[in-house]
Amino acid sequence: MKIATVTLNPAIDQTVSVDNFRTNTVNRGQSMSLQAGGKGINVASFLVDAGYAVAATGFLGQDNLEIFERFFALQHINDAFVRIPGSTRTGVKIVDEANIQTTDINLPGQMPPQDALDALLKRIEQLSASYDWFVLAGSLPPGVPTTIYATVIDLLKARGKSITLDTSHDALHKGVLAGPTIVKPNIDELQQLVGHILADEAAIEQAARQLLENGSQLVVISMGEKGAMFVNREASFIATPPRVPVKSTVGAGDAMVAGLIVGHIQGLDLPTCARLATAFSIGAITRTDFHLPAVETLQAYTQQVSVRAYQHSS
């Protein structure tokens, strides 16, 4: 089973560790790293760690390719990115381990020319000849139509492919209507989608069920330290992680997406899939390098995840 990820707006992640970070003053950093990033690229990295063949596509600026090409070679990810003029953006992440807080500064990214958009759709069509699962993840760069994910979903569904969508704002709204196999918003993105605050589990579950009406098979709502809600047509479950030392929350949702796909490929039932996906997410927050921990550690996390059925009203 081969998986392809689509990242339209990747970034070089500049992660700075600053304990007790404060605004409007001088801070002393402990360390700094640069890494190829972007939601789909992170998902690809986690999936390779889990033992799967992965391709990654999207747009990359020609002027700072090296960090991405080096990462793809190191991780054995099939580089199917479309090159565009300019530089891929840098995103700054200030990680305060002392207070378990992460501050993100995200720049808008490069605008791809129209011929690059056409080339990307052709590239995805080519990948669909040999890849089974597709992950559409992350924000859109300037100038890209908000219907782009819906267009890709329609293309892939016509070829019988499975699709996971993890995005936000208008791209999420339009993409959900196309009925991807799995939709994975976080609680804030779901609230933006429905247009109001979701005050309790009942409201969250009801909003998730609305998304299933467009043809999706599974909706997963990540809720931070409260865990995640997993909703399909038959049932709903809430997975709660154990308390673990948190290095960074960056990449937790991407790891969960990887775990969801692994669970589906393995044919796991929903509670077991929820446990595995949550364990992947725990593995991510205990590290800062977008890699899964050792298999034994991941298995231990899986056993520590609590999963309970949520009884929705009919």
| 313 confidence band (pLDDT: 50, 70, 90) | low
Quote the pLDDT of residue 290.
77
Element (H, E) at 277: helix 270-285
Quote the pLDDT of residue 23.
94
Hey, what are 189's tokens?
A: 């993105």
The stretch 126-154 carries a mean pLDDT of: 97
The DSSP-derived string for 55-122 is: EEEEEEEGGG-HHHHHHHHHHT-EE-PEEESS---EEEEEEETTTTEEEEE----PPPPHHHHHHHHH
Quote the pLDDT of residue 312.
61
CA distance 224 to 253: 9
Structural domains of the chain, with CATH? 2-19+32-310 (3.40.1190.20)
Q: Which residues contact 236 (CB under 8 A, 6 or more apart)?
A: 205, 208, 229, 230, 309, 310, 312
Query: Which of 15-19, 65-69, 230-234, 244-248 is predicted with the least confidence, judged by mean pLDDT?
Result: 244-248
Query: Which of 81-85, 131-135, 276-280, 286-290 is predicted with the least confidence, judged by mean pLDDT?
Result: 286-290
- pTM metric for this prediction: 0.93
- pLDDT per position as a tens digit, 289-305: 778 989 999 999 999 99
Where do the DSSP E strands lie in 120-257? 133-137, 162-166, 182-183, 218-222, 228-231, 236-240
Active-site residue numbers?
A: 254
The DSSP-derived string for 120-139 is: HHHHHHHHTTT--EEEEESP
Query: Shortest CA distance to 66 belongs to which of 100, 36, 37, 86?
Result: 36
- pLDDT per position as a tens digit, 62-74: 999 999 999 999 9
| 248 confidence band (pLDDT: 50, 70, 90) | confident
Residue type, 21: F
pLDDT above 70 covers what percent of the chain? Answer: 99
Residue 165 and residue 193 in contact, taking contact as beta carbons nearer than 8 Å: no
| 244 confidence band (pLDDT: 50, 70, 90) | confident
